[in-house]
Structure 1
């Protein structure tokens, strides 16, 4: 192995996030409804194996070679029957690390109101859909629940080998779970994190709707 060999390996390399092997995308759909901007949500079908009955955005796993916007548009068509011609992309929002080596890419876009009226959601994937005014999220702070993330290190870890025979002060963390309740619909988890960050906590650069 020579420096030239290493150089050849990394020429043209595009940096990403270390450890991420799976990419997902969701559409954050803005809809002009009753002269106000709304956000369109869907409720996952009860028959789904993963996260049945949860509120979410249309989206899913990115296919090889697919961009986040292409994936978000495709999933919106498959789940809600809304064609790409009825969607106007606005911006890529901040990515969200999901754990388990997954990265979520939210895409903000405007969806034609007429297409929403006539959309035909997949019964296999979508239980129902609903709209929420953007002003609701701007005016109502979510309830945020926090719990610690603590390292669980096995007894066989070689502390003496790395020069810390008495143990190492591993860093801890905190996970936040924002929750909104709107007319009986509970908006939480990754969907709420995307909204809370981009609408309320992300700073002027990252916010939309204000």
Structure 2
């Protein structure tokens, strides 16, 4: 049996999510404002999915696009901040957000002049705001957990050689919630925020 296809597939391979169906990336924008570092957030417009929620600029990666390229492109499209105004610090740990999809956050420092001159796209962004890292560190989030039950009614137990009462393990998901901020900050955006603050 010829294994040359395996060599082509795996030699020098950069691991990603097995069976990935698509992915997305966000820029996590650091901005120096009034002598301290802040994170820049968006509020989604009423015209997009999850309207009114707080997020970072980002979206789906296009074919052949890296996470950094995607994050910078989406930031330009959503906020009018050019790629040249962002100094990429590095890629953060990715998040598994649903079946077959990874979210790749990219940490970058944004020129304050570009933030002052940004022009958010109204069809995507209702508003923007800055939160100082100092304030986020002083008020850590509360973390809540929920479980997603497993339901596979047509699973071929006999063919798999397992009993019909197989003890499937439900998925446990943690959801952080920051309280007392000007806008609600929770979920994936809060998890990314926590990761930045934890590494200060």
SS of the equivalent of 1:165 reads coil
Residue in 2 aligned with 1:18? 18
SS of the equivalent of 2:46 reads coil
**Is the 1:60–1:75 contact (alpha carbons within 8 Å) kept by the matching residues of 2?**
yes
Question: Could you tell me the TM-score, scaled by structure 1's length?
Answer: 0.87
The aligned length equals 199
Shift of 1:137: 1.9
Which deviates more, 145-154 or 53-62? 145-154
Question: Could you tell me the TM-score, scaled by structure 2's length?
Answer: 0.91
In the TM superposition, 1:124-135 aligns within 5 A as 124-135=123-134
Matching of residue 30 in structure 1 with residue 47 in structure 2: no
Residue in 1 aligned with 2:101? 102
**Is the 1:159–1:167 contact (alpha carbons within 8 Å) kept by the matching residues of 2?**
no
Residue in 2 aligned with 1:81? 80
Shift of 1:185: 0.2
Residue in 1 aligned with 2:150? 151
SS of the equivalent of 2:173 reads strand
Q: Aligned pair in 2 of structure 1 residues 26, 189: CA closer, same or farther (>3 Å)?
A: same
SS of the equivalent of 2:195 reads helix
| Root mean square deviation, CA, Å | 1.9
Shift of 1:168: 1.3
Residue in 1 aligned with 2:139? 140
User: Where do 5+ consecutive residues of structure 2 fail to align?
Assistant: none
Q: Aligned pair in 2 of structure 1 residues 182, 22: CA closer, same or farther (>3 Å)?
A: farther
User: Where do 5+ consecutive residues of structure 1 fail to align?
Assistant: 201-206
